[in-house]
Protein backbone atom coordinates (compact mmCIF):
# COMPACT_ATOMS: atom_id res chain seq x y z
CA UNK A 1 0.00 0.00 0.00
CA UNK A 2 1.39 3.37 -1.00
CA UNK A 3 0.89 5.88 1.82
CA UNK A 4 2.91 8.66 0.21
CA UNK A 5 1.15 11.95 -0.62
CA UNK A 6 -0.74 11.98 -3.89
CA UNK A 7 0.71 13.87 -6.83
CA UNK A 8 -2.71 15.36 -7.41
CA UNK A 9 -5.44 16.85 -5.32
CA UNK A 10 -8.86 17.16 -6.94
CA UNK A 11 -10.41 18.92 -3.93
CA UNK A 12 -8.09 21.20 -1.99
CA UNK A 13 -10.67 22.80 0.30
CA UNK A 14 -13.62 20.70 1.44
CA UNK A 15 -15.61 23.68 2.78
CA UNK A 16 -15.40 25.56 -0.51
CA UNK A 17 -16.28 22.45 -2.49
CA UNK A 18 -19.27 21.83 -0.21
CA UNK A 19 -20.53 25.39 -0.66
CA UNK A 20 -20.25 25.01 -4.45
CA UNK A 21 -22.04 21.65 -4.36
CA UNK A 22 -24.87 23.07 -2.25
CA UNK A 23 -25.14 26.09 -4.60
CA UNK A 24 -25.39 23.77 -7.61
CA UNK A 25 -28.16 21.75 -5.92
CA UNK A 26 -29.96 24.98 -5.02
CA UNK A 27 -29.72 26.12 -8.65
CA UNK A 28 -31.20 22.81 -9.84
CA UNK A 29 -34.10 23.36 -7.45
CA UNK A 30 -34.54 27.03 -8.38
CA UNK A 31 -38.14 27.81 -9.27
CA UNK A 32 -39.49 24.50 -8.01
CA UNK A 33 -42.39 24.52 -5.63
CA UNK A 34 -41.17 21.35 -3.98
CA UNK A 35 -37.51 20.89 -3.07
CA UNK A 36 -35.96 17.84 -4.73
CA UNK A 37 -33.31 15.90 -2.86
CA UNK A 38 -31.06 14.84 -5.71
CA UNK A 39 -29.12 11.77 -6.56
CA UNK A 40 -25.55 12.78 -7.37
CA UNK A 41 -23.00 11.10 -9.60
CA UNK A 42 -19.50 12.47 -9.14
CA UNK A 43 -17.32 11.60 -12.10
CA UNK A 44 -13.86 13.17 -12.04
CA UNK A 45 -12.48 13.47 -15.55
CA UNK A 46 -8.99 14.87 -14.85
CA UNK A 47 -6.05 13.54 -12.86
CA UNK A 48 -7.46 10.03 -12.67
CA UNK A 49 -4.84 8.15 -14.70
CA UNK A 50 -3.82 6.01 -11.72
CA UNK A 51 -7.41 5.62 -10.48
CA UNK A 52 -8.94 7.14 -7.38
CA UNK A 53 -7.58 6.22 -3.97
CA UNK A 54 -10.00 5.01 -1.28
CA UNK A 55 -9.52 8.37 0.47
CA UNK A 56 -10.51 10.25 -2.69
CA UNK A 57 -13.61 8.12 -3.18
CA UNK A 58 -14.58 8.75 0.43
CA UNK A 59 -13.95 12.50 0.01
CA UNK A 60 -16.26 12.71 -3.01
CA UNK A 61 -18.91 10.59 -1.29
CA UNK A 62 -18.75 12.71 1.89
CA UNK A 63 -18.93 15.90 -0.17
CA UNK A 64 -22.19 14.90 -1.84
CA UNK A 65 -23.65 13.33 1.31
CA UNK A 66 -22.86 16.50 3.28
CA UNK A 67 -24.87 18.47 0.71
CA UNK A 68 -27.99 16.48 1.73
CA UNK A 69 -28.25 14.28 -1.33
CA UNK A 70 -30.44 11.20 -1.51
CA UNK A 71 -27.97 8.86 -3.20
CA UNK A 72 -24.32 9.28 -4.18
CA UNK A 73 -22.28 7.45 -6.77
CA UNK A 74 -18.59 8.05 -7.46
CA UNK A 75 -17.78 6.85 -10.96
CA UNK A 76 -14.37 5.97 -12.38
CA UNK A 77 -14.04 5.19 -16.03
CA UNK A 78 -15.22 6.43 -19.39
CA UNK A 79 -17.45 9.47 -19.55
CA UNK A 80 -21.07 8.51 -18.99
CA UNK A 81 -24.04 9.45 -21.14
CA UNK A 82 -27.25 10.63 -19.48
CA UNK A 83 -28.79 7.18 -19.98
CA UNK A 84 -25.76 5.48 -18.44
CA UNK A 85 -26.08 7.69 -15.34
CA UNK A 86 -29.74 6.68 -15.03
CA UNK A 87 -28.74 3.02 -15.35
CA UNK A 88 -26.02 3.51 -12.73
CA UNK A 89 -28.60 4.56 -10.16
CA UNK A 90 -30.72 1.50 -10.95
CA UNK A 91 -27.93 -0.75 -9.63
CA UNK A 92 -26.70 -1.36 -6.10
CA UNK A 93 -24.09 1.18 -4.99
CA UNK A 94 -20.63 -0.33 -5.17
CA UNK A 95 -19.12 2.10 -2.66
CA UNK A 96 -20.55 2.75 0.76
CA UNK A 97 -18.32 4.12 3.51
The pLDDT of residue 1? 44
pLDDT at 5 over 60: no
Mean pLDDT of 45-57: 84
Mean pLDDT of all residues belonging to the chain: 83
> How many other C-beta atoms are found inside a 10 Å radius of the C-beta of residue 14?
12
Q: Name the band, by pLDDT with cuts 50, 70 and 90, for residue 23.
A: very high
Spatial contact of 88 and 80, defined as CB atoms under 8 Å apart: yes
The pLDDT of residue 6? 53
User: Which string of b and e fits 24-62 if b means at least 16 CB within 10 Å?
Assistant: ebeeeeeeeeeeeebebbbbbeeeeeeebeeebbebbbe
Spatial contact of 52 and 73, defined as CB atoms under 8 Å apart: no
Output the pTM of the full model: 0.76
Give, as one character, the DSSP assignment of residue 61: H
Amino acid sequence: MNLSPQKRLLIGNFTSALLLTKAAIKQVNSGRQRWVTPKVCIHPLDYTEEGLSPAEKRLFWELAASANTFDVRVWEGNELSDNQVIELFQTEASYKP
